[in-house]
Amino acid sequence: MKRLSRLRRHRATGPILLIFALFTIGTTFQVASAVDAEQTTTIAARSAAIDEGREIFLKGCSSCHGLNAESGGIAPSLIGVGAASVDFQVGTGRMPMGDMSVQAMRKAPLYNPEEVYALAMYVASLAPGPEIPTEEMLNYERDGSTAEGGELFRTNCAMCHNFAGQGGALTQGKYAPTLMGVEPVHIYEALITGPQSMPVFSDKTITPEEKLSMIKWIKAAEAEPQLGGAALGRVGPVTEGLLVWTLGIGLLIGVAVWLAAKAR
Amino acid sequence: MSNEIELIKDPGLPAHVHRRADTDPKAAARAERQVATLFILSALGTVVLVYSYLFVDEDIFFFIPVLGNTNAHQLGLGMGMAIALFCIGAGLIHWAKTLMPDEEVIAQRHEFKSEDEDREDFVKTVKAGAAAAGLGRRPLIKRTLGAALGLSAISPVLLLGDLGPLPGNQLKTTSWKKGTRLVTDPGDRPLRPQDLEVGAVAQTLPEIAPGEHRSLNDIGKDAVLLIRLRPEEFNLDAERLSWTYEGIIAFSKICSHMGCAVALYEQQTKHLLCPCHQSTFDVTRAAKVIFGPSARPLPQLPITIDAEGYLVAQAPFNEPVGPSFWERST
Amino acid sequence: MTARERIAGNVAGYVDDRTGAAKWMKKNLTKVFPDHWSFLLGEICLYSFVILLLSGTFLTFWYDPSMREVVYEGSYEPLQGLEMSAAYASTLDISFEVRGGLLMRQIHHWAALIFMVGIVVHLMRVYFTGAFRKPRETNWVIGVGLLTLGIVEGFLGYSLPDDLLSGTGIRIAEAIIQALPVVGSYLAFFTFGGAFPGVAFIPRIYTVHILLLPGIFLALITVHLMLVWYQKHTQFPGPGRTEKNVVGYPLMPVYMAKAGGFFFIVFGVTAFLGAVASINPIWLYGPYTPGQVSAGSQPDWYMGWLDGLVRMAPPIETVTFGYTISWNILIPGLILPGIMFTALALYPFIESWATGDKREHHLLDRPRNAPTRTAIGAMALTFTLVCLLNGGNDIIATTFDLTINQMMWFSRIGVIVLPPLAYVITKRLCLSLQRADRDLVLHGRETGRLVRMPNGEFTEIHEPISAEKAWLLTSHEQLAPLELPDLDGGGVRRPGAIKNKIRNRISRSMATAVPKATQSERKELEGHH
């Protein structure tokens, strides 16, 4: 204690403390302002994206969805659908829809990734909603399990999308699309946003890890080579029956005709 | 009149036309070579099969148009076998067609009916046999024999009795009781209402004690689909509405038609579709059938929350789940 | 005598010394078989049955017919660690661990589909050519029995792997059993050893699939073939062919080589399908659990029409005195198929009752010369085809941008409207073809060569057809309709009057025909020229 009080009374104590204090404050401020600057740039970029997104929206989407995305009578309101929904719908080319058919089809996207991002930011700025999953969140190779994913897929997805993810029929001409060739991020977004006929699969009913397992299984099914020969569309016995009634019996009857024809 | 009409006459079997191989030794030699080539091809097919079995690994894949990325082992075995067998067949047939005699032969048919004399004898024998047994004259024997034979048919039927237990009320009950929690399938996690957003579905089963095992029999009766709508979207009577919780409604996933899992939920139309026979149910009207062969709505599970806020059953299903059966009364 | 011939002779002698079969063998080795491609359709069935026995035996060496739960530890990664029945796990092992196992599984399944296709096309040939007529009615009935058993046997085989698709099929079969009035739920519990799915079903149907039904098949096929052998094969009409003879090739050696060769052809084609086309990829379906289902769950094609019929059934169920009857299951699942198969089995007897023709027939009809029979056949086929299409309505809808609802309504209306339409069209078509035959015989073949007559008129030269062709087109017999009296000699109505009237009416319809050309008419026409 004596030592400490002696130090305190040292004549250099004041200036040193002052310098130290100043230094600390300065550094803190510097760090703080740097963080702030970063935030400012992100916010700036984001608001730029929002502005760009609004412009694209006004040109490309507002005639159906309304000037403020509040639903223009033809198409639903986009307030609160979130960035994930926009990324899925526009990123897979489903939106803009083009024609007013029963269901929006997957096609080549009309907008480039930056424009899709801008649109997503704009719609997200209207009201909070599901965010676009980051790449770190989508590491299905690391975080997923194929077998578990298969089980989840068969319980939750196969009834519409078929046992191998080839898609299937719904009522009145609607259909569950094939899952082959769909980006993992889009599968994930579809699960959390429930586009069109598809219901939502909340994170509490199917956890994010389980979603990654499902994606891993879908990707495994997609990459699976033909173990037993031509896959015949992987749609079950209908195509098998078609093949046996055409190629199968056709070959046999062909040989039978040859067998019974008189040789020359 | 019919005698006057002259019909077109049968010109008889056309004369045999010789094949090239019959007259030209060169053609015959060529045919022989063709047959031999087919047999050699067959042998090569077997070589392909043996080679594939012994030396081609099962994880080699290569691309073939139409077939796709094909397994070399499987294709080698199959094509080797196909060629080996097909070429034996083709060789044999070609041999028969070109080198074996091809003159058509006529064989005579005879009417199956026997000579009248034989037939009469036969009929007489049968009649005499029947008379000798005297069944007609001894009705007591006839009747008791008939009764005995008829009764003896009971034994095989009775002996098969242990094939299964009697149904009892198994078709009418499920594991759901008042207060049973709904847990996710798979995952077994209990659910709170806030875990389901509007438009969300969840496949659920009744909670079981840790370490307990669920049998397929139970899943076959207990599977439940949870769906969340906006409460104002329901078009239900007061009782049915009280079976829902904040827009969450629970139906048996086992189709009321033939028992497939009905879980194709269309979020926009609020329709449930069964993939097997396409019965369509309207969720907003208590799963009323609006299309397809099913004659009954899906049974509804009344739900509420327990003290901890988890979703639980208020009571068992309102009616037996699954396909109809005779004793089913409602 | 060459060495070969001596050996063959010794063999024959050896056999006769021990069996005394020389006379019988001599007769049968030279037995004559008529040659026509359509006579090989039945052989397709026979040979695919042999293939099924061979490949099926191979599968039994590894298949474990048990519903005991196991954890999969095989080499197919997407299923590793999952709980499944031993039946499913062992089927996966056959597919992935046994070399050639997948090929054999696929050959077995393709052979089953070919077997059923073979039965149906063979049945069509026999039906449309009238080969079922006396004395072959018994064989027709046996054939219908084989068709029915084939459907059951095929369905059981489809159920054995215990994957998601087959489990869904069994679930539906259970619902049909359960829907039977009075005994339904008892029968279902006895079949499954308790509630669905239980643990008894797979071992039970395994015994039925590999022992009971194949045994019945063997017995029925043996009788079927013995009758063909004993009654001698039918033949198509043609020059030199009569009801009293058979024109063709002797069994030894020509027919032996051809028929034997055709066995290898059928086996080869089946192996080819097994090599290049995947069938029932069970590893993708996953293990069965009642809480799961796949879009597009269909049975194999021979059950597909039944499934289509069930899909289009109207939603009718009645509850009387507290007891439920599911008409929506019973009518399409049991009653209609029951009526159809019974009518099919009884057809030879119905036709001979209607035409009053009780004679033996060994010469086949050309389908056009039996317009009513052909039209009835077309009607039945149309019905089945509409049902079959509806059985795949979801796949068809997604492929051709239709809706399942449209498909369903098309089938519901089509199944009632199209068969009668097919009847009318086919009958007219047959009569037109008869007319064309008649014209061909009377006026000859159109050559396409035009000549100008001295009076300036253009005519086309007709070439007379060969005597063989003329005989072929006119050799059939045209039956007169029955004219059963409805009044007896005294002018009083007979008791069976209405029955006779109906029979006369049907018989008139059966006898509808364009009169065939005769030599007298030809001569008369020649006189004119």
d(CA C290, CA C288): 7
Q: Which of B2, B9, B14, B3 is nearest to C522 (CA)?
A: B9
Shared domain check, C432 and C349:
no
Residue pair B235/B245 in contact (Cβ under 8 Å)? The answer is: no
- Quote the minimal CA–CA distance from C294 to chain B in Å: 7
A28-132 shares its CATH topology with A133-225: yes
Across the interface, do C31 and B107 touch by the CB < 8 Å criterion? Answer: yes
Closest partner residue to C37 among A160, A217, A256, by Cβ? A256
Residue C88 belongs to domain spanning: 42-236+248-288+301-365
C-beta contacts of A47-54 below 8 A and 24+ residues apart: A49/A117, A49/A118, A49/A121, A49/A122, A50/A118, A50/A121, A50/A122, A50/A125, A52/A115, A52/A118, A52/A122, A53/A117, A53/A118, A53/A119, A53/A120, A53/A121, A53/A122, A53/A123, A53/A125, A54/A122
Q: Which of A170, C125, A183, A59 is nearest to B274 (CA)?
A: A170
Closest partner residue to A237 among C79, C293, C299, by Cβ? C299
| Residue extents of the structural domains in chain B | 20-98, 182-313
The residue type of B288 is K
Shared domain check, C160 and C63:
yes
Q: What is the mean pLDDT of chain C?
A: 92
Shared domain check, C201 and C111:
yes
Closest partner residue to C79 among A147, A239, A253, by Cβ? A147
User: Residue B203: is its pLDDT beyond 60?
Assistant: yes
Residue of C270, C279, C280 for testing the chain A interface, max A β-carbons within 10 Å: C279
Q: Which of B208, B183, B174 is nearest to B311 (CA)?
A: B183
SS3 label, residue A61? coil
Question: What's the CATH fold of domain A28-132?
Answer: Cytochrome Bc1 Complex; Chain D, domain 2 (1.10.760)
Q: Does A247 touch chain C (CB under 8 A)?
A: yes
Please indicate, yes or no, if residue C413 is contained in any of the structural domains: no
Chains touching C by CB (3 or more pairs below 8 Å): A, B
Across the interface, do A229 and C277 touch by the CB < 8 Å criterion? Answer: yes
A209-258 pLDDT tens trace: 999 999 999 999 999 999 999 999 999 999 999 999 999 999 999 999 99
Burial of C148 (0-12, 13-18, 19+ CB in 10 A): middle
A56-80 pLDDT tens trace: 998 888 888 888 888 877 888 888 8
If phi over 0 gives left and psi between -120 and 50 gives alpha, with beta otherwise, what is residue C29? alpha
pLDDT band of A14, cuts 50, 70, 90: low
Burial of C411 (0-12, 13-18, 19+ CB in 10 A): buried
Shared domain check, C320 and C461:
no
Q: Which of C206, C47, C35 is nearest to C117 (CA)?
A: C47
Chains touching B by CB (3 or more pairs below 8 Å): A, C
Give the other-Cβ count within 10 Å of C208's Cβ: 14
Phi, psi dihedral angles at B224 (to 5 degrees): -130, 140
Q: Does A239 touch chain C (CB under 8 A)?
A: yes
- Quote the minimal CA–CA distance from B259 to chain C in Å: 6
Question: What's the CATH fold of domain A133-225?
Answer: Cytochrome Bc1 Complex; Chain D, domain 2 (1.10.760)
pLDDT band of B1, cuts 50, 70, 90: very low
Please indicate, yes or no, if residue C376 is contained in any of the structural domains: no
Q: Cβ contacts of residue A14 below 8 Å, gap of 6+? A: none
The residue type of C478 is Q
C478-528 pLDDT tens trace: 888 888 876 666 666 666 778 888 888 899 988 889 999 988 888 888 776
> If you average pLDDT over residues A181-185, what whole number do you get?
93
pLDDT band of A13, cuts 50, 70, 90: low
Across the interface, do C189 and B164 touch by the CB < 8 Å criterion? Answer: yes
Alpha helices in C457-496 (DSSP H): 467-474
Please indicate, yes or no, if residue C418 is contained in any of the structural domains: no
Shared domain check, C94 and C117:
yes
Across the interface, do A229 and B67 touch by the CB < 8 Å criterion? Answer: yes
Shared domain check, C71 and C25:
no
Q: Which residue of B has its CA nearest to A196?
A: B268
- Quote the minimal CA–CA distance from C324 to chain B in Å: 5
pLDDT for residue B312: 96
pLDDT for residue A41: 65
Domain B182-313 sits in CATH 2.102.10.10: yes
DSSP assignment string, B117-136: HHHHHHHHHHHHHHHHHTTT
Burial of A107 (0-12, 13-18, 19+ CB in 10 A): exposed
pLDDT band of B2, cuts 50, 70, 90: very low
B234-282 pLDDT tens trace: 999 999 999 999 999 999 999 999 999 998 999 999 999 999 999 999 9
Residue of B258, B260, B289 for testing the chain C interface, max C β-carbons within 10 Å: B258
Closest partner residue to B264 among A155, A170, A207, by Cβ? A170
Q: Cβ contacts of residue A98 below 8 Å, gap of 6+? A: none
User: Residue A3: is its pLDDT beyond 60?
Assistant: no
> If you average pLDDT over residues A92-117, what whole number do you get?
86
SS3 label, residue A110? coil
DSSP A201: -
Shared domain check, C156 and C24:
no
- Out of C365, C399, C415, pick the residue that ends a domain: C365
d(CA B272, CA B224): 13
C131-166 pLDDT tens trace: 999 999 999 999 999 999 999 999 999 999 999 999
d(CA A200, CA B250): 16
Statement: the pTM of the whole predicted model exceeds 0.90? yes
Shared domain check, C65 and C11:
no
Please indicate, yes or no, if residue C191 is contained in any of the structural domains: yes
SS3 label, residue A173? helix
Cis amide bond preceding C135, omega within 30: yes
DSSP B61: E
Contacts with A236 from chain C: Cβ below 8 Å:
165, 294, 296-298, 395
User: Residue A18: is its pLDDT beyond 80?
Assistant: no
Shared domain check, C282 and C138:
yes
SS3 label, residue B199? coil
Closest partner residue to A230 among C265, C276, C284, by Cβ? C276
| Residue extents of the structural domains in chain A | 28-132, 133-225
d(CA B270, CA B285): 10
ipTM value greater than 0.90: yes
Percent helix / strand / coil, chain B, rounded to 5: 40, 15, 45
The encoded tokens of residue B134 equal 């005297």
The distance of Cα A36 from the centroid of its chain, to the nearest Å, equals 31
- Quote the minimal CA–CA distance from C252 to chain A in Å: 16
Across the interface, do C264 and B12 touch by the CB < 8 Å criterion? Answer: no
- Quote the minimal CA–CA distance from A200 to chain B in Å: 4
- Quote the minimal CA–CA distance from C322 to chain B in Å: 4
